[in-house]
Amino acid sequence: MEESGSRELYGRALSVLPGGVNSAVRAIRPYPAFIGRGDGGHVIDVDGNRYIDFVMGYGPLLLGHSPPEPVRAAVQSVASEGPMYGAPTEIEVELAEFVTRHVPSVQMLRFVNSGTEATVSAVRLARGYTGRDKIVTIQGGYHGANDSTLVEGEPGAAVPSTKGVPEAVADHTLPVPFNDEQAIDHVFEEFGTEIAAILVEPILGNTGIVEPAAGYLETLRSYCDETGALLVFDEVITGFRVGGLGCAQGKFGIEPDVTTFGKVIGGGYPVGAIGGPAEIIESFAPVGDVFQAGTFSGHPVTMAAGLETLRYAAEHDVYSTMNDLGETLRDGLRDLAEDRAPEYTVVGTDSLFKVIFTRRGRDVTNGADVNSAQTERWERLFRPAMKEAGVLLPANQLESQFICAQHTSEDIEETLEAYKAAL
């Protein structure tokens, strides 16, 4: 496989970008493939190597790399009228109306520019609305580069997980294991009147793909109802991908107080959003006293891409197509794992999938189970073998893998053959 172009670009990048990348997760050893262009469910790197792409921009590309004509036309039309205005536009109202029609828990939205910005704003909103400071988070959950959630440890003894976050910030964060109702009992017993919110991904999406145990999300909902804390669902990954237009909260039948969105609702352009009942969302300025603002929020090109992506998904039944491919792929992977690596665990739902290199006898019920898996084997041996076979996977074992509407049955068959050789 020719890689001289990527190698040369990485050498140049190391001189001008820290680690040669603009996001730490892209720092693949010995160097990443630099992508030249996308084509449907595939990408082609600068050396001309073609890959079946299951990174999909880490989730935003529901429709793949070649947007259908209505999406492409809308983006081009809006972009041709001017880059941005620093003023409201009709298209942001239309996208907000679409989301509120399809997600029952959402009456109002505030658009921002990334999933990180959405979760930062949601935490501030919860604290401002409740008048409390503490946030319950999930060990192994990920909410972007958010100081309040870049924290590890136990409730009452949490510490920053990165330099640059003050210990005083970590003091207000209460990390608990996913799917552990006893831990929720304990944290609310000790800190209940101080808790502003539980911030949780309904499915852990950046530490493997871990689904909630039966009754777990209902338990979180009941504790918030009893204490006045807000239940905040981080649906940056799952929103408009898992559960279709109703999102993961619709799939599980749980209505949060606040939802953070990103990725799919921007159609591949930078986006984030915070949604919920009007009573809560109107705590944001200028109506309420919780400050939030952004120069590029509601960017017209992003709004057009997001709206037309969601309209296309609604009108062309893309979810059933993707989910069927996902089930076929997961079934095939389970058969392969049973035959070649019975200790490994196939996870996923809808258009998400992953093989976790778990050790024998270890189930996947929380982030610790994924973190104890054979990460080095996955990264150093398995992923490079898949890349050599023409299948591009995320940088590490922790990230979700995504199917898009432009993947085909042939892509699935080729992928299974690659897994068969690499496992």
Q: Which of 235, 254, 259, 249 is nearest to 109 (CA)?
A: 259
Q: How many CB atoms lie under 10 A from the CB of residue 227? A: 16
**Structural domains of the chain, with CATH:** 1-32 (no CATH), 69-315 (3.40.640.10), 317-393+411-423 (3.90.1150.10)
For the cut 70, the answer to whether the pLDDT of residue 183 exceeds it is yes
Report the distance separating Cα 333 and Cα 339, nearest Å.
Answer: 10
43 beta partners: 38, 51
pLDDT for position 362: 72
Report how far apart, in Å, the C-alpha atoms of 332 and of each of 237, 328, 385, 421 are.
Answer: 24, 6, 18, 13
Q: Which of 36, 35, 32 is nearest to 17 (CA)?
A: 32
pLDDT for position 50: 98
Torsion, Cα of 334, 404, 256, 172 (10° steps):
80
pLDDT for position 216: 98
Three-state DSSP class for residue 174: strand
Q: Which of 144, 157, 219 is nearest to 191 (CA)?
A: 157
Q: Which of 328, 336, 323, 261 is nearest to 98 (CA)?
A: 261
pLDDT for position 14: 97
Active site residues: 142, 234, 263
Q: Are 228 and 250 in contact (CB under 8 A)?
A: no
199 beta partners: 232
Q: Which of 330, 420, 417, 344 is nearest to 377 (CA)?
A: 344
pLDDT for position 363: 82
Tens of pLDDT, residue by residue over 4-48, are: 999 999 999 999 999 999 999 999 989 999 999 999 999 999 999
pLDDT for position 36: 98
User: At 250, which amino acid appears?
Assistant: G
- Over the chain, what is the mean pLDDT? 96
Q: What is the DSSP letter of 346?
A: E
Q: What are the residues whose beta carbons fall under 8 Å from the beta carbon of 112, sequence distance 6 or more?
A: 118, 121, 271, 272, 273, 274, 292, 294, 297
Q: Which of 135, 124, 139, 154 is nearest to 194 (CA)?
A: 135
pLDDT for position 360: 77
Three-state DSSP class for residue 221: helix
Which segment of 320-329, 334-343, 353-362, 377-386 scores lowest on mean pLDDT? 353-362
Report the distance separating Cα 321 and Cα 248, nearest Å.
Answer: 18
For the cut 70, the answer to whether the pLDDT of residue 361 exceeds it is no
Tens of pLDDT, residue by residue over 114-164, are: 999 999 999 999 999 999 999 999 999 999 999 999 999 999 999 999 999
Residue 387: pLDDT band with limits 50, 70, 90: very high
